[in-house]
Amino acid sequence: MTTSDRVVLDVEGLRMRYGANDVLRDVRFQARHGEVLALLGPNGAGKTTTIEILEGFRMRSAGRVDVLGADPAHGDERWRARIGVVLQSWRDHGNWRVRELLAHLGSYYAPYATGHVQRPWNADELVEAVGLTAHAAKKIKTLSGGQRRRLDVAIGIVGRPELLFLDEPTAGFDPRARHEFHDLVHRLARDHATTVLLTTHDLAEAGKLADRIVVLAGGRIIADGTEDELARQVAGEDEVRWTLDGSHHTRTTPDSTGFVRELFARHGTAIGQLEVRRASLEDTYLALVREEETATR
Amino acid sequence: MNTTTNPTTTNSTATAVRIGCSRGLIELRQSFTNGGELLSHFLWPTLMLTVMYFLRDSALGSGELMLGTLALPGILGMNAAMGMVSMSQILTAEREDGTLLRAKATPDGMPAYLIGKVVSVGGGVLADLAILLIPALLIIDGLSAGGPGSWLTVVWVLLLGMAATLPVGAILGSVFTTARGQGLIQLPMLAMIAISGIFYPLTSLPEWVQWLGQATPVYWLGLGMRSALLPDAALTVEIGESWRHWETAGVLGLWAVLGLALAPLVLRRMARRESGSSMSERREKALRRVG
């Protein structure tokens, strides 16, 4: 990945309050240039609220937010031109044709081209990049759900954004569409050094797509790191099973290797049917979320 | 860190106007290359023309004025006023389906969107009027049209009338968040058309209705059309027996100024509350309604 050390997204002490209810409490995370960051959490954790604040679509109650060097609450049109937002569309622009809409929306970005960023993306190349070449002349209302979603992504990146926001991008995708979509995001990050922030409640997706995962639960960030770091963060939920003299035993332990060494040292050949199950990221995630939920109760 | 090659003072307004106009023209073309919409462009004028054709020989009372002659300017005025209704419908619908949110996510998107709508709705209304007016001139005798003076009046009344009514439509359309609520807002607009003197002379209505009618832009649109297309003999049924051009310009101008000043404010307020989640909420609601 072409990740550099430049911070393009910086959130500190972010709070969102509706009435007497804190939806977000002291949210804090960063994204570096070229990084794919997943905001992972159960439904209702505050993911969408967070991303909408970063997109400049929602006012926050408190905290410091810096997106590409500006406060999104006061971002001007020049700032807007450097951001890409993939919306969960429904049926807008139904009478427009695929290529026609991309060419039109691209024209908004032309005045904001810079020395190193050519804006907009050429409509034909973009149509091809999202695999819609065969449908370029079709009316948008005739597209299938998956095609429509790829068009949404194309619209989100038509201005060659430096930072792209994706809110639940693969909701309602079949496995193949999901796979193609993951490919597209990887290519964006690799070939165009686009920083990507996506929200998902799907752990496997976060693991597959993201360089780094930020776990949001109950309105707080409860973990932040790579897939491996997260698995290590909640230590010791490995599960060890064995038989001793014909009877079955199960034990969970933070240090499965040490435990097994001890087991053999003590019982030697009397141990049979040894099984060690490492904590998966899924266990980690569930444990984290469960911990948070019991803590707030 | 910004090594911009462009001049840093990009003229946003000029960009929005240019892109908005091209957006409006694309949508206008779409509405004339689409079976359903094409039908609605021609159905109404055809019906009106048919009615006028059969009315062409019946006189109004004992006078020498023909009923069809009198009806045409009113129908034109109403058609123009209906632009306000479609503007408000479109705004509500496109707020619900996410078009507005897209405009908000795009640099200079909101002003370009508004300009595009004025071009496409205004252009659509003008096209509809031409579809009606040109054959009408061939069918109906006794219209005073033909002189350059009356055409000039048609043009300025239409343009000013459009500027007076379309922003109002946009404002009314942005008040309601769902297509269902939009149904309510059409009632006052239709009431406005009903008491505008387009269907029957305002002088035959009670005085308080006359005052109400004269407060609406629709009345003045109709009056302006009548002044351009009817001979002065038709003045007998008008208030004060005058075409009142100055008053027409004044009232329509006032509505235009008010509307154009208020519409961007109201739209910006509405857009501030727009977000992906508020849109998907409405989508859920709409789908439940359908399903």
Q: Is the pLDDT of residue B72 over 80?
A: no
Alpha-carbon span B208 to B214, nearest angstrom = 10
Contacts of A228 (CB under 8 A, 6+ apart): none
Contact at CB, B277 and A49, closer than 8 angstroms: yes
Contacts of A101 (CB under 8 A, 6+ apart): A93, A140, A151, A155
pLDDT at B41: 81
| Gap from B97 CA to chain A (nearest CA, Å) | 5
Token pair 């659509």: residue? B124
Q: Which of residues 10-69 of A touch B (CB under 8 A)?
A: 48-49, 52, 55, 57-58
Token pair 């009113």: residue? B74
Instruction: Using pLDDT thresholds of 50, 70 and 90, give the confidence band for residue B4.
Output: very low
Q: Is the pLDDT of residue B280 over 80?
A: no
| Gap from B177 CA to chain A (nearest CA, Å) | 15
Check if the beta carbon of residue A101 is closer than 8 Å to that of residue A150: no
Q: Which residues of chain A have pLDDT under 50?
A: 1
| Chain A residues touching B31 at Cβ < 8 A | 95
Contact at CB, B12 and A95, closer than 8 angstroms: no
Q: Which residues pair with A36 in a beta bridge?
A: A196
Alpha-carbon span A152 to B152, nearest angstrom = 46
CA distances to A79, A96, A105, B95 from A93, in Å: 25, 5, 11, 12
Contact at CB, A167 and B26, closer than 8 angstroms: no
- Read off the pLDDT of residues B188-219 as tens digits, 9 standing for 90 and up: 777 877 887 777 777 878 888 888 888 888 88
Contact pairs from chain A to chain B, CB under 8 Å:
91
Instruction: Please give the residue that has the higher pLDDT: either B272 or A58.
Output: A58
Show me where the domains of chain A are located: 7-231, 235-296
DSSP string computed for A206-239: HHHH-SEEEEEETTEEEEEE-HHHHHHHS---EE
pLDDT at B250: 93
Alpha-carbon span A165 to A8, nearest angstrom = 13
In the predicted model, what is the mean pLDDT of residues B238-263?
Answer: 88
CA distances to A199, A234, B152, B242 from A223, in Å: 15, 9, 71, 78
pLDDT at B95: 84
In the predicted model, what is the mean pLDDT of residues B213-230?
Answer: 87
pLDDT at B179: 66
Confirm or reject contact between A5 and chain B (CB < 8 A): no
Check if the beta carbon of residue A55 is closer than 8 Å to that of residue A72: yes
| Gap from B244 CA to chain A (nearest CA, Å) | 43
pLDDT at B3: 43
| Gap from A290 CA to chain B (nearest CA, Å) | 26
Contact at CB, A108 and B97, closer than 8 angstroms: no
Q: A85: closest CA among A58, A63, A60, A65?
A: A58
Question: Minimal Cα distance from A80: which residue of B?
Answer: B107
Q: Which residues of B touch A (CB under 8 A)?
A: 2-6, 10, 12, 15, 19, 22-23, 26-27, 30-31, 34, 94, 97-99, 101-102, 104-109, 112, 274-277, 279-280, 283
pLDDT at A3: 57
Q: Is the pLDDT of residue B75 over 90?
A: no
| Chain B residues touching A92 at Cβ < 8 A | 94, 97-99, 102
* Superfamily covering domain A7-231: P-loop containing nucleotide triphosphate hydrolases (3.40.50.300)
Confirm or reject contact between A113 and chain B (CB < 8 A): yes
| Gap from B62 CA to chain A (nearest CA, Å) | 52
Contact at CB, B276 and A96, closer than 8 angstroms: no
- Read off the pLDDT of residues A137-155 as tens digits, 9 standing for 90 and up: 999 999 988 888 889 989 9
Alpha-carbon span A162 to A70, nearest angstrom = 13
Contact at CB, B276 and A116, closer than 8 angstroms: no
Alpha-carbon span B215 to B225, nearest angstrom = 17
Q: For an interface test with A, which of B12, B280, B281, B287 has the most A Cβ atoms less than 10 Å from its Cβ? A: B280
- Read off the pLDDT of residues B147-186 as tens digits, 9 standing for 90 and up: 777 888 888 998 899 888 898 888 888 877 666 777 777 7
Encoded tokens for A244 = 């001793």
Contact at CB, B105 and A55, closer than 8 angstroms: yes
Contact at CB, A88 and B5, closer than 8 angstroms: no
| Chain B residues touching A111 at Cβ < 8 A | 6, 10, 15
**Rg of chain A in Å (alpha carbons):** 23
Percent share of chain B, pLDDT over 90: 12
Candidate from A58, A80, A115 with C-beta closest to B3? A115
Candidate from B10, B12, B98 with C-beta closest to A87? B98
Q: B85: closest CA among B188, B208, B158?
A: B188
Candidate from A57, A92, A114 with C-beta closest to B97? A92
In terms of C-beta density within 10 A (0-12 exposed, 13-18 middle, 19 or more buried), how is residue A228 classed? Answer: exposed
| Chain B residues touching A162 at Cβ < 8 A | none
pLDDT at A15: 94
pLDDT at B196: 79
Instruction: Using pLDDT thresholds of 50, 70 and 90, give the confidence band for residue B1.
Output: very low
In the predicted model, what is the mean pLDDT of residues B27-34?
Answer: 90
- Read off the pLDDT of residues B98-128 as tens digits, 9 standing for 90 and up: 898 899 899 989 889 988 998 999 999 888 8
pLDDT at B267: 81
Out of A36-40, A203-207, B30-34, B44-48, least confident range: B44-48
Q: Does the predicted interface ipTM exceed a cut of 0.95?
A: no
Q: Is the pLDDT of residue B146 over 70?
A: no
Pairing mode, if any, of strands A212-217 and A21-32?
A: unpaired
Instruction: Using pLDDT thresholds of 50, 70 and 90, give the confidence band for residue B7.
Output: very low
| Chain B residues touching A159 at Cβ < 8 A | 106-107
pLDDT at A5: 79
Contact at CB, B102 and A93, closer than 8 angstroms: yes
